[in-house]
Structure 1
Amino acid sequence: MHFEQQGTGETVILIHGLFGSADNLNNLGRHLASHYHVVRVDVPNHGKSPHWQQMSYAKLSLAIKELMDYLQLGHCHLVGHSMGGKIAMATAQAYPDSISSVVAADISPVKYPPRHDAVFSALHSTPLSELTSRNQALQHLIACGLDEGTAMFLIKNLHKGTQGFEWRMNLHGLQQAYADLIDWPTAQLRYNGPALCVRGGDSDYVTAEHRQAFVSQFPQIQSKTIAGTGHWLHAQKPEIFNRIVADFIGKHPIE
C-alpha cells in the first residue's frame, strides 16, 4: 500500500473510509505527529495504492500487517474511519498481539445494508472525457442527487492526467468488492485489547442495536459521541475528534 509518514515515537496507523485517501485523516495525523510516528495509508483501490478486484477484510487486514512488517513495527495503534474502522477492527481481531489499541470512527462491527448505490451511479455517469474543470464534475454529482458535502469529498479523487480527467480510485474494483465491504464475516472473533468507538451524534452508522456486537467482539470497548456531527465527524469537529483520539491512545502506551 502507498503510505505517508510523519513524526516519531509509538506508531499510529490511520486508515480512511470508502472513496477516500490518505489525505482524509491528515488533520488528525498532524495533531498526533507531535508525539507519535503517524502512518497514513491509501487503502487498495484508492489513491496511489494498487488496484484489487477482491477486497475482503481478511485480505485488507493482512495488507496492514504486511505494512507493519515492512516498517519493522512490533506493535502499533490503529485508527480508522468508516470502512477504515472496519479494517482497523478486523486487523485487531486477526493480529491481536500486534495491535496496542484500536479506534473505530463512526462504524460498527456489523454487516450493513447497501447504501452507496446513488454514489456509484453518480460517479459512473460523470462525463470524464467532456470535463474541462473540477467544478463541472462537482455540479454533475450534485445534479445526480448527492449533497454538496459528499460531492466535494468525492471530487478529491478526480485527477487530471495527460489524457484528461480520471478517477484516481478503482471505481469498478470497488463496486465489484462492495458486497464484501459492507459485510462483516469476523463476528466470531474477539479483540481483548483497548478499543474505542467515536460516533457522530447525528449519524445512523452506529446505533443502539450495535451495542451487543461491540461488546461481544471488543470486550473493552468504550464509546464517545460528538454532538452535532454526522458520519464525517472528523471533518466537522476536528478539534474535538483529534483530542478524543489522542487522549485514548495516550492512555494505552505500547508495552
Structure 2
Amino acid sequence: MITFCRKSFIKNVFNGQIRCKSANSVSLSYNKITGCVTTSNDSLPPVLIFHGLFGTKNNWKSISKAISSKTGRTVYSLDLRNHGSSPHTSGTDSTLIGMANDIELFLDDNHYKTATLIGHSLGGRTVLQFAYLWPERVEKLIAVDISPLPTIPQQFFTKTTFIDELSKSIENISNDLNMSSARKQVDDRLKPLITDAFIRGFFLMSLHKNEESEKLFWKFNLNSIKHMLENEYINKIEIKIPFNGPSLLVHGQQSDYVKKDDYNAIRELMPNVQIVSIPETGHYLHIEKPNHFIDCVISFMKLS
C-alpha cells in the first residue's frame, strides 16, 4: 500500500522503496569545492554544508575548502530556501520538512545515494529533520550548536519585530549611492538594533542592489522568514524514531543553544552521538575558533 504525504506529492523510488517527495521542493543554489588531484576521491559520498538563519553559502567557503583538502571529498555549501541565491517560497512552505525535502531533491538531482551532512543553527535543524526522515541517506551527521530538542533560546534576531526593523533599514536610501556608501548607511541604521559589528557584517553580506532599479534589497525572504518564526516552524522537528547513525554535535561552551543538562535528552534522540564542547566560544564557534572546529569535524569524519 502506498501512503501519500501531505499536500501534493510525486513518487520517488530509492533502493526499491517508494518515497514521498514534495512537489514544492526547490533546487538549492550552491558552491562546489573538489579535492585537489592528489587527494580527490569521487567514490566517497560528498559533504553538504548548510548555514544558519540569515546566513548564506558563502559564510562557509574557507571551511568547505579545508574539509575538501583534508578529506579529498567534494564539498557543497548550499543556500537554504529563502536565503542567498536559492528560490523563495511562501511562508507556509518555510518548514523544516520543506527544507529537508530540498536536500533530498539535491541528492537525487546529483545522483548521490548518501552524504555527510553538516548544519549550523537553522541549517542544523534542517539536516536533523532530514536524518529523521531519510536516515539511510545520511552517511554521517554533524549538528553545529543546535540539537533536536524543541527548546531553542529566544534571540534578538528571532523576534518578528526585528524582521520589521530589518525591512525599514533599507527604506529611503538614495539609489544614486554606490554600494559601499549605501551599505555604510544601512550599517549605521542597524547599530542600535545590532550592537555587535561582526553580527552586523554577517547580515550586510546579504544586502544587494537591483541591477535595473538600483534599489537595495535583502537577499533573504523576510516575509517567509517572519512567518516561519511566528509559527515556530524551527521548533518543530518531526521525529518518529531516534536517529541511530553516526553523529556529532559540536557546540560552543558559552552558547545558550546546547547545555550540558541537555545531553541525556539529546542522546535519547541520537543514541550514537558524540558531543563536543569547544571552550570559550558561543553560537558562532566555527568562526570564533575555525581550526578547532575543523579538527573536530575531520576527526569525526575519519572514524570508521
TM-score bin (small chain): over 0.9
Larger Rg: 2
**SS at 2:275 equivalent:** strand
CA RMSD of aligned residues (A): 1.6
1:50 to 74, 87, 96: 87
- Residues matched between the structures, number: 252
1:5 corresponds to which of 32, 46, 66? 32
Q: CA deviation at 1:47?
A: 0.5
Please give the alpha-carbon distance, in whole angstroms, between the structure 1 residues aligned to 2:51 and 2:216.
23
Q: How does 1:204-215 map to 2 (within 5 A)?
A: 204-215=256-267
Residue in 2 that maps onto 1:36: 73
Does residue 122 in structure 1 map to residue 165 in structure 2?
A: yes
Counterpart amino acid of 2:31? E
Partner of 2:285: 233
Q: 1:81 Cα shift? A: 0.5
The alignment status of 1:89 with 2:133, answered yes or no, reads no
CA distance in structure 1 between the partners assigned to 2:187 and 2:263 by the alignment: 37
- Counterpart position of 1:15: 50
Q: 1:192 — aligned with what?
A: 244
Give the corresponding residue for 1:171.
222
SS in 2 for 1:29: helix
Task: Specify every segment of 5 or more residues in structure 1 that has no aligned partner in the other structure, as ranges.
Answer: none
- 2:155 matches 1:104: no
Q: State the alpha-carbon separation in 2 of the partners of residues 96 and 216 from structure 1.
A: 16
Alignment TM-score, normalising by the size of structure 1: 0.93
Q: Which has the higher contact order (CA 8 A, sep 6+)?
A: 1
The separation in 2 between residues aligned to 1:60 and 1:180, in whole angstroms, is 15
Moved more, 105-114 or 77-86: 105-114
Residue segments in structure 2 that go unaligned for 5+ positions in a row: 1-27, 35-39
Aligned 1:75-86 pairs, distance under 5 A: 75-86=114-125
Query: Which residue does 1:27 correspond to in 2?
Result: 62
Q: Write the letter of the residue equivalent to 2:200.
A: A
Number of the residue aligned with 1:138: 187
Deviations 1:232-251 (A, max 9, x none): 11111111111111111121
Please give the per-residue CA displacement for 1:37-83, whole angstroms capped at 9, x wherever unaligned.
10111100001111112221111111101100111001110000011
Q: State the alpha-carbon separation in 2 of the partners of residues 43 and 221 from structure 1.
A: 24
User: 2:205 matched to 1:156?
Assistant: yes
Structure 1 or 2: more helix by fraction? 1
Moved more, 178-187 or 237-246: 178-187
d(CA) in 1 for partners of 2:77, 2:100: 15
**Alpha-carbon offset, residue 113 of structure 1:** 5.1
TM-aligned CA deviation for residue 106 of structure 1: 0.4
Cα deviation, residue 189, structure 1: 3.0
Identity %: 27
Q: Indicate whether 1:65 and 2:110 are aligned.
A: no
**Helix, strand or coil for the counterpart of 2:191?**
helix
Letter in 2 for 1:197: L
Q: CA deviation digits over 1:102-155, x for unaligned, max 9?
A: 000001112225432264243122134415421111121112244222211111
What corresponds to 1:224 in structure 2?
276
TM-score under structure 2 normalisation?
A: 0.78
Change (3 A) 1:145 1:46: closer
Asked if 2 retains the 8 angstrom alpha-carbon contact of 1:83 and 1:181, the reply is no
Name the CA distance, whole Å, in 1 between partners of 2:130 and 2:84: 21
